Structure 1
């Protein structure tokens, strides 16, 4: 354990992230936000995908040992974590509590095992939801959706509207591919119930974006909710990148510097999504045929069964005359903030969706699994700041969609205008008197009440 040199006045908080990149980032951002408000921070983390303590010298880090591997089925990984981490987490927290008082635990909602430990140790537990309120509404509705016959999903009903969750269709429901759906339903049940039984929920979102979902959830959950996002906008893009588990290629920034404003398509599908070789080839030709420059993140493991770029068609990059740049990983926030970027082709993970909204960059949506499907539907049909690839991954469809977003046409201009307006709302919510600023003040007051009890 790395010890923090100075005890601060706000009380100590224990934070445990779910150990995947898209969950680690917002939890560490939240830790920095709360540290700036006077709280001392201890990050409890797994040895799997452990954050680098040297990037956060002002935090204390406590590692818990567990035999986890992401090579297994994703659903089994989620379930295993919640079983195998219980005892080492309990032991770690017990040791910390024997040394000093702790105000509360802030746990990623997926780490539902922490609720029983917190109850046993009489430690207040607040949940961080790293996704959108709108997608959590869908997760919480699964019992009803099964009762109504929407789930299990039938191919003949994919386009059917889910009247209980507008504007979602059956195919937009946050499912994952699994041979054991009952395991998935049980996982969601535990996540939703332990969130309801917590003492509050922190959201990486803002009220102006999800006011309708907030109203609905507030009626269903009798606990405080704090929308204090966008987390990453509390910091500079460069300072936010230190939580990356993959080495970022900074050379792409100088490459962007050579391009005119709003001319480049940025393409990235996050740290987990996989695509087939066939889809990869269609994407490559679709991008090439637009004649727009593109920056494409192709991380190892993105293409199923491949570790590299051996599937790029022979001569494709040569024929582009420098219009395309492919990197293994990139500083996404800096890229989306760059004036050269005019569109973001994304899997619609919540972090990526929110980062794009905050920079006013229109999105081309290609969700892969779970809440990404809900996010994509909201981007295209509620906030209307992007388009969704509805007909699969086909080069002609890709080319048409990118041209619609990027070229001089009425629909594209309207999307870009709405994106810029939403960017301004995201900026204003963090200013004094803004919704997220006020919610953060309320959160600090709320946690401080636990601090008093702990001392």
Structure 2
């Protein structure tokens, strides 16, 4: 089956969007996934970190195979303050740097705590950011690039250029605070579910670069279903990176993304208020648990 082909009954997902995992023991991985599915089917209830207006139809379809009660009580990010399990300290100077920029002018770039990239990909990212001429805040964890401790592989003169104000690089950042900052106009992300929901909660359109697992179908939903961002379909290529940044940050299409995600963000705020879908679902969950003998 061709990678660009649509997956029957899962449109608009393409074959290349199906979750994939790197493992040296595929049989054990498949057995683990089967145990997870069977365990979920046998559960007395399923709690979801999502909300009705975002995934109602998908959850309705899923409930046919998982008949236990479903409780959509998210986004969890709105219930609890941000926390980080990273051993890298959050760089708070990124917030003061953002304070110097106009609203919606800065692209935030972070690919999470697990993604590893090749040297060639790292350089394409750097040149794509630089060539876009858009201000950016780039999180580069120590060690994710093979053969490099941190920034040694950056092109000659790159750091000197961004010191002039176009960009800022940190080892780790307080992501929820960053996304809530008025200067942020876009988020280039790996589309892990937590990062995606954080972006949705703050009304920030996305550029998607998924790597594995659920990041792949989430990215397709961002670009083709919710239509709140752009997916880099061909990996890391500087020309496509530059084009995607301009689409989200500069072009009229970016305004459409912002309007659509702002509408979803408003639904987030409503679903958490008394009488909202997540508020009511949480009440249902409490009552359901209290009904147990």
TM-score by length of 2: 0.96
Q: Structure 1 residue 163: deviation in Å?
A: 1.1
Quote the residue 2:281 is aligned against.
439
Quote the residue 1:253 is aligned against.
95
Q: Are 2:63 and 1:211 aligned?
A: no
**Equivalent position to 1:196, from 13, 20, 41:** 41
Using CA pairs below 8 Å that are at least 6 residues apart, which structure has the higher relative contact order? 2
Quote the residue 1:285 is aligned against.
127
* 1:9-88 correspondence runs (5 A): none
Q: d(CA) in 2 for partners of 1:367 and 1:273?
A: 9
Report if aligned partners of 2:124, 2:237 keep a CA contact under 8 Å in 1. yes
Q: d(CA) in 1 for partners of 2:236 and 2:287?
A: 49
Report if aligned partners of 2:77, 2:197 keep a CA contact under 8 Å in 1. no
Q: Structure 1 residue 164: deviation in Å?
A: 2.1
TM-score by length of 1: 0.62
Q: Once superposed, which parts of structure 1, at least 4 consecutive aligned residues long, lie more than 6 Å away?
A: none
Aligned residues: 292
Q: Structure 1 residue 449: deviation in Å?
A: 2.8
Q: Structure 1 residue 180: deviation in Å?
A: 3.7
Gaps of at least 5 residues in structure 1 are 1-153
Q: Are 2:236 and 1:393 aligned?
A: yes
Q: Are 2:15 and 1:162 aligned?
A: no
Quote the residue 1:403 is aligned against.
246
Q: Structure 1 residue 207: deviation in Å?
A: 0.7
Which digits, 9 at most, give the CA deviation of each residue in 1:128-163, with x for residues without a partner? Answer: xxxxxxxxxxxxxxxxxxxxxxxxxx6xx1111101
Quote the residue 1:375 is aligned against.
218
Quote the residue 1:302 is aligned against.
144
Q: d(CA) in 2 for partners of 1:257 and 1:241?
A: 22
Do the aligned partners of residues 369 and 319 (structure 1) sit closer, same or farther apart at CA in structure 2, a change above 3 Å counting?
A: same
Gaps of at least 5 residues in structure 2 are none
**Matched residue SS, 2:148:** coil
Compare 430-439 and 186-195 and name the one that shifted more: 186-195
* 1:282-431 correspondence runs (5 A): 282-320=124-162, 321-409=164-252, 411-431=253-273
Report if aligned partners of 2:271, 2:279 keep a CA contact under 8 Å in 1. yes
Q: d(CA) in 1 for partners of 2:31 and 2:146?
A: 28
Q: d(CA) in 2 for partners of 1:343 and 1:302?
A: 23
